[in-house]
């Protein structure tokens, strides 16, 4: 597939047939004696999407659906089993592209979920934030680096004097601000945010989301945003992809996806959100649970929970098709059984 994004401009990041399997086989001797086969977790099982410059693309899904693995594949913390990742037209996915990745990596930074675990407790905040600057030797000289750190800290709403303190002296929200400052220190154009607010209280979450939006406008950043919270995703993103068991079942621009969800799983997810507006409404609980990614169901992985499943869904995995800019992998939608 060589579909460029709809507005004609080349996408900043495009992912094509991305696959990542993890070997979870029993040790060799056990396999020999107990006659077990090798087994794999199919964490990411063939997904394609594009992210345009300046966009916020969100991946949503329940735990274990592979959304964090995608994030890690893109920043290069994992190597893909198959498929390609192109950044600004340059292939950075496979191992052979390691040199290219080295060249492109400075443009990407990642923000992690847990602000308690992602900052080194023995370093002062100024050293933490200065690390990307030092690694990439962006600025020469101690005083200038310190100046830049102060600038970054004020940019995320902290005071330059906070650089002298240690991470434990800050609250969760402030620590996440430090993580953001550190990510910005590398002067990235693309930020991968893996659940950046799910460890935070709602009022602090609002502060961080507002900050991220403001920075995006000011610095022209592109975000890949991973979250399980649909309301947050609705608020921040321009495009949304819904993942289920390692596959992207539907992706479209935010408004379309939330107003007119097509895939039965997307509909179920949207039905399952508690609604603040009409307090007392009965939400329709999704029946069943996410199956194990070691032995995913045959055909469409969602068929055991799907109200529209028929014979074909059990045997044949649906391919993604595009309907007016909405990409859906579902036989029922393709056959026009559901609109």
Partner 1 sequence: MQGDNQALLSVRNLRIEFPNRRGTLVAVDDISFDIAPGEILGVVGESGAGKSLTGAAIIGLIEPPGRIAQGEIFLEGQRIDHLPYEEIRKIRGRQIGAIFQDPLTSLNPLYSVSRQLIETIQTHLPLNEREARARALELLDEVGIPGAAERIDHYPHQFSGGMRQRVVIALALCAEPRLIIADEPTTALDVSIQAQIISLLKGLCKEHGTAVMLVTHDMGVIAEAADRVAVMYSGRIAEIGPVQEVVRAAKHPYTHGLMGSIPHIGHHVDQLTQIEGSMPRLQEIPSGCPFNPRCEEASDRCRVERPNLQGVEQSEVACHLFDAQRVEARAGE
Reported as half-sphere exposure (CB side, CA atoms, 13 A), residue 225 has a value of 30
Report, in Å, the least distance between residue 29 CB and partner 1: 24
Q: Is 280 in the site for partner 1 (CB under 8 A)?
A: yes
Largest CA distance in the chain: 68
Q: Which of 26, 138, 139, 209 touches partner 1 (CB under 8 A)?
A: 209
Using the contact rule CB under 8 A, the part of the chain among 1-9, 109-117, 223-231, 296-304 near partner 1 is 223-231
Q: Is 218 in the site for partner 1 (CB under 8 A)?
A: no
Q: Which of 56, 176, 207, 222 touches partner 1 (CB under 8 A)?
A: 207
Q: Which of 230, 326, 328, 332 touches partner 1 (CB under 8 A)?
A: 230
R_g (Cα) of the chain, nearest Å: 21
Q: Which of 82, 139, 270, 317 touches partner 1 (CB under 8 A)?
A: 270
Q: Is 285 in the site for partner 1 (CB under 8 A)?
A: yes
Q: 3-state DSSP call for residue 190?
A: strand
Q: Which of 53, 124, 228, 308 touches partner 1 (CB under 8 A)?
A: 228
Rounded CA separation 176/184 (Å): 12
**Integer CA distances (angstroms), 107 to 88, 158, 334, in order:** 10, 24, 38
Q: Which of 187, 258, 297, 299 touches partner 1 (CB under 8 A)?
A: 258
Q: Which two tokens stand for residue 201?
A: 């209280």
Rounded CA separation 126/143 (Å): 12
| Cα–chain center distance at 31 | 35
**Integer CA distances (angstroms), 246 to 47, 64, 66, 135, 237, in order:** 8, 8, 5, 34, 21
Rounded CA separation 235/202 (Å): 13
Q: Which of 138, 286, 317, 334 touches partner 1 (CB under 8 A)?
A: 286
Q: Is 204 in the site for partner 1 (CB under 8 A)?
A: yes
Q: Which of 31, 148, 165, 235 touches partner 1 (CB under 8 A)?
A: 235
- Give the list of residues 6+ apart from residue 331 with CB closer than 8 angstroms, or none: 300, 310, 312, 313, 316, 318, 337
Interface mask toward partner 1 for 63-102; x: CB under 8 A: x---------------------------------------
> How many residues sit close enough to partner 1 to count as binding (CB under 8 A)?
42
Pick 107 or 228: Cβ nearer partner 1 = 228
**Integer CA distances (angstroms), 171 to 57, 144, 167, 207, 213, in order:** 28, 28, 9, 13, 21
Q: Which two tokens stand for residue 18?
A: 């991305």
Q: Which of 283, 314, 321, 337 touches partner 1 (CB under 8 A)?
A: 283
Q: Is 159 in the site for partner 1 (CB under 8 A)?
A: no
Q: Which of 273, 315, 322, 337 touches partner 1 (CB under 8 A)?
A: 273
Q: Is 281 in the site for partner 1 (CB under 8 A)?
A: yes
| Cα–chain center distance at 333 | 26
- Report the interface residues with partner 1, using CB under 8 A: 62-63, 171-174, 201-207, 209-210, 213, 228, 230-232, 234-235, 258, 268-270, 272-277, 279-286, 289-290
């Amino acid at each position: 597939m060589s579909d460029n994004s709809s507005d004609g401009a080349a996408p900043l990041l495009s992912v094509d047939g991305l696959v990542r399997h993890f070997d979870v086989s029993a040790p060799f001797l056990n396999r020999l004696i107990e006659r077990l086969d090798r087994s794999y977790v199919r964490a990411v099982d063939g997904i394609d999407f594009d992210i345009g410059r300046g966009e916020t693309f969100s991946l949503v899904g329940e735990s274990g659906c592979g959304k964090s693995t995608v994030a890690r594949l893109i920043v290069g913390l994992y190597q893909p089993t198959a498929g390609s990742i192109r950044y600004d037209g340059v292939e950075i996915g496979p191992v052979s592209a390691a040199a290219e990745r080295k060249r492109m990596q400075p443009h990407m930074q990642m923000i992690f979920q847990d602000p308690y675990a992602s900052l080194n407790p023995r370093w002062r905040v100024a050293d933490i934030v200065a690390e990307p600057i030092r690694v990439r030797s962006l600025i020469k000289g101690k005083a200038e680096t310190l100046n830049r750190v102060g600038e970054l800290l004020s940019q995320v709403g902290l005071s330059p004097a906070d650089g002298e303190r240690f991470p434990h002296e800050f609250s969760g929200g402030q620590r996440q601000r430090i993580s953001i400052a550190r990510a910005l220190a590398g002067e990235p154009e693309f930020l991968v945010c893996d659940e950046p607010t799910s460890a935070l209280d709602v009022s602090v979450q609002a502060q961080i989301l507002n900050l991220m939006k403001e920075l995006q406008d000011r610095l022209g950043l592109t975000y890949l945003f991973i979250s399980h919270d649909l309301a947050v995703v609705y608020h921040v993103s321009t495009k949304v992809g819904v993942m289920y068991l390692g596959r992207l079942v539907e992706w479209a621009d935010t408004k379309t996806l939330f107003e007119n969800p097509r895939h039965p799983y997307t509909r179920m997810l949207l039905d399952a959100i508690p609604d603040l507006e009409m307090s007392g409404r009965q939400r329709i609980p999704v029946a069943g649970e996410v199956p194990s990614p070691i032995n995913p169901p045959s055909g469409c992985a969602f068929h055991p929970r799907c109200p529209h499943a028929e014979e074909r869904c059990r045997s044949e995995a649906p391919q993604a098709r595009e309907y007016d800019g909405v990409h859906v992998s579902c036989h029922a939608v393709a056959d026009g059984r559901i609109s």
